[in-house]
Chain A
Amino acid sequence: MIDGDRSPTIAPPERTPNTLVKRIMTEIHLSDYLEQDAIELDLKGDTKQKVLTEMVGLLGVEAESRNIALELVMSRESLGSTGIGKGIAIPHLRSTIFPRIMLAYGRSSEGVAFGSIDKKPARHFFLVASPPIDPSNLYHPILAKIVQLVKESKNRKKLDSIDTKAGLLNLIDELAG
């Protein structure tokens, strides 16, 4: 009944042939979705809500849509924290207000309590925003690609050492295409 107008989402990994997963993963370039203006290397917020407000502000959506984005990103957090541990959070949301998939990256030197699995403060934030219908089915592969990138401690160290936005984009290109 409610399926009629939704494009099929990507099949769960176990039902997707490995070759297809690999192809999707190698064809996705995170830097294609991350604008330089959507990077903030010195987040000021000292609470989850404040940091998420800053992150949503980086997306460059119209002011009138920012409340919507914030409300939705907080609703998603109510389901369970997107803090995946090791100082990493990957808040994500889908909404009508996004014309295409957009990413934002923020870094906080102090870190903020984020309800992460390992209870450690989150310092690196990757925000993934997508339209509700994403014909190219990139939402989950993009989330997967970011998770893959931050899993390695040497990559997290590199994220820490970057001091310019252009440097961050180059690093992401180097690490995750």
Chain B
Amino acid sequence: MTTQQAAAIQVQGLEKAYKELRVLRGVDFTVARGSIFALLGSNGAGKTTAVKILSTLLKADAGTARVNGFDVATQAADVRESISLTGQFAAVDEILSGRENLVLVARLRHLKSPGEIADGLLARFSLTDAGARKVSTYSGGMRRRLDIAMSLIGNPPVIFLDEPTTGLDPQARIEVWQAVKELADRGTTVLLTTQYLDEAEQLADRIAILHEGRIIVNGTLAELKQLLPPAKVEYVEKQPTLEDVFLTLVGTKA
């Protein structure tokens, strides 16, 4: 029971359909406090749908989900106090400056001294020089960094990152990875979705694969690697990558 209460995210039997299309068909997982949890899945697997349900933007058809101890369906306001969402596409105000975006979010979270918070985050995400510029002049990587910075305002204990590095160049990806690692070091729980297997390998404490509406595996990287039948390991000196694991699992299930 104590471990249950300690979990930052608990999902049980989650189902969601868009008309005929059954996207989630009974999803279960738990995320421990202060850990990074990666939800892997191909295009259309339902990652965004799951994140939207957890961040109170969508209602599930069945099942329960608790975030920071609050039920997403019945205690939505408490859930929103506990989370931040960085959606799949950077949700920033193009017409405002980077600093104004941060101040706006700080105000909407009803925090004191929004200006100071904004300046602190600009510095932390190397955006100080660009802070006064309109966001429409930002590069993709800068925009994503601002997007993530906006999500950190108010230090919510749980953060959702939906494909945080899709469309970024390798350098920008590494910057985002660093930001995510720092978050976890500070004790924030991070749930991220990704299609990149190396991203999950790099960042996540636990990895779950969402496939055909269910979590087909869930474990640490080491555990997932053991799922590969040893007979298939032909090159003794080469460890199987997570990609091998993924393709084998998805391939055999399909």
Q: Do A and B come from one complex?
A: no
Interface of B toward A, CB cutoff 8 Å: none
Interface of A toward B, CB cutoff 8 Å: none
